[in-house]
A and B are shown apart, each in its own frame.
Chain A
Amino acid sequence: MLASMYIYLPIAEISMHIAIIIGLGGGVGFLSGLFGVGGGFLMTPLLIFLGVPPAVAVATEANQIVASSVSGVLAHMRRGNVDFKMGGILLIGGVIGSSLGVMLFTFLREVGQIDLVIKLSYVVFLGIIGFLMLLESVRAIMRTRQPGARRRKLHQHNWLHGLPLKMRFRRSKLYISALLPLGIGAFVGVLAAIMGVGGGFIMVPAMIYLLGMPTSVVVGTSLFQIIFVTANVTFLQSVQTQTVDFMLAGLLLLGAVIGAQFGTRASVLLRGEQLRGLLALMVLTVCIKLAFDLAIRPDDLFSVELLK
């Protein structure tokens, strides 16, 4: 009976307990709904820790994020919190970036350095983003406790706003160059493909601090464009590396879509800056754990991988 609780994953080619997969999906799904991020930055490292080959973890997670983002974005669409025009520009950049990312991924896999690049990317980006977010949310919380303090301007003007191809984004109340969201989309797309994430943890702060979008539309718009970027990664990985494990993705998303619904509800209970502070702490925890693993001498300096 106990043996039947295990499921053999046909692409990962390992056997895993079904409760672990669904539980993992549910837990990460809850957090993704709560913070409005894809949850991939937690799921991909966890899958790798559980023995799923890194290439399969990254590609499969992209497929699963498609589902949780669709599920999440619908709630935001009902509240009118999606800027489709901005999302459209971001996703054009995202599709270009993620296509390049999959090519880079395939190359790194062949030279045997994909694990290192995945982990290093996590350490660098989670570290920077986590630290900046923590700083910002601490400041925001301090400001709300000083009633006399003046509110910061929505966004500062700098050289980025002097770029050509200016466009009006009504929902975001912005008049900025389309090159800016295009570039951000492309950059996050590359990372999405290599790290097996939707890129929400970079996209959300980039939208707030670089584009100056109002916080209310940031999460919905981010989820909207993540759907297309991760769908693109799923397709390209399926064709190029055959590393998308449909069985694993299906079970993860079973847990994740349910978890995300509860997470989205719970997010109403917390204030924006508290939410960002919590997310920052979680991002930093994953970052420190991965940095530690890279710096500590492994028990066995040798490792093997069966080639097909």
Chain B
Amino acid sequence: MIHAHRVILGLLLLIGMTGFATADSGRIVADLSKSNVSITSGFHGTDLLLFGAVDGDIGDDILVVVSGPPTDVAQRRKANRAGIWINVETNIWQQIPSLYSVLATNQIEQITSPEVLAELGIGTQNIGLKIVPETPMPGQAPPIAADFIAALQTNMANIDLWSNEIGKVKLTQNALFRAEVKLPANIVSGTYDVRVLQFRNGVAISEDRTNLYIKKGGLSAGIYNFAHDYSALYGIFAILFAVASGWLAAAVFRRK
């Protein structure tokens, strides 16, 4: 296996920790089966294995937070105007996580309190969502913040980017843990932040962070860069290709 060395490294760390760590200060180390993911032409989402070692006691919990590169998101609300449903309000969320998923060994309520989560900035309700209303359209009221925030979670979950459910972390012998991190097909490229926390009696006693790098690769990166860096040339190329293939098809079919 390509990543065997990482597993071995994890095990070595584990051995080291059990030797030196004191009884109630935990330690946690985590890594991903792959820290670079390329969005190539065949990309249809992927699952990564998050694994690691923890110096744990019975009853310890592990919580994992995966958050994607911050991005601006336009959220719109429709209303009925003259019999048709049209967008009447817009809110631009500035620099919110493009992906957000939480994984844990247990139900969140059984791991810790909402206050601790707020302090640690865990959960979409704790990431400081702030309404910045666009200039309201003439004759319209500014957006109602609470409605937009409540709908955002649902909207983002519908496009697979913010998970509604808590994923599973499997902890073995209070020492080794593993979890499957799901990356949907429509993920944004950039640096992803993975936080792994160890909880004991409702308190986070140790934390490790790791990064995941997602970038466009292969042909799909080539086309994307071509379109953005040499857009006029790209347009001409697209037209010429279309003319050539249309002509070719007609020629091929005429001969038959």
Q: Interface of A with B (CB < 8 Å)?
A: 3-4, 6-11, 13-15, 63-64, 66-72, 74-75, 112-113, 115-116, 120, 227, 231, 234-239, 242, 244-247, 249-250, 253-254, 257-258, 260-261, 294-298, 300-308
Contacts and interface: CB of A to CB of B under 8 A. Distances in A.
11 contacts: A63-B238, A74-B251, A113-B86, A116-B86, A238-B232, A242-B227, A246-B241, A297-B85, A303-B155, A304-B76, A304-B159
B77 A244 contact: no
Interface in B72-95: 72-80, 83-87, 90, 92
A116 B84 CA distance: 10
A246 B74 contact: no
B73 A6 contact: no
A235 B249 contact: no
A247 B223 contact: yes
A306 B227 contact: no
Nearest to B188: A306
A4 B234 CA distance: 27
Given A10-B223, A261-B250, A302-B75, A253 B245 contact: yes
Complex A-B, nearest 8 residue pairs according to Cβ-Cβ distance, in ascending order = A238-B235, A70-B246, A257-B249, A15-B185, A302-B151, A67-B242, A66-B242, A71-B246
B243 A15 contact: no
B198 interface: no
B76 to A, nearest CB: 5
A270 to B, nearest CB: 19
B220 A116 contact: no
Contacts of B98: 306
B44 interface: yes
Q: Pick from B76, B77, B79, B251 the residue with the most CB of A within 10 Å.
A: B76
Nearest to A4: B42
Contact of A8 (B40, B73, B148, B155): B40
A6 B221 CA distance: 16
Contacts of A4: 42
A308 B80 CA distance: 29
B253 interface: yes
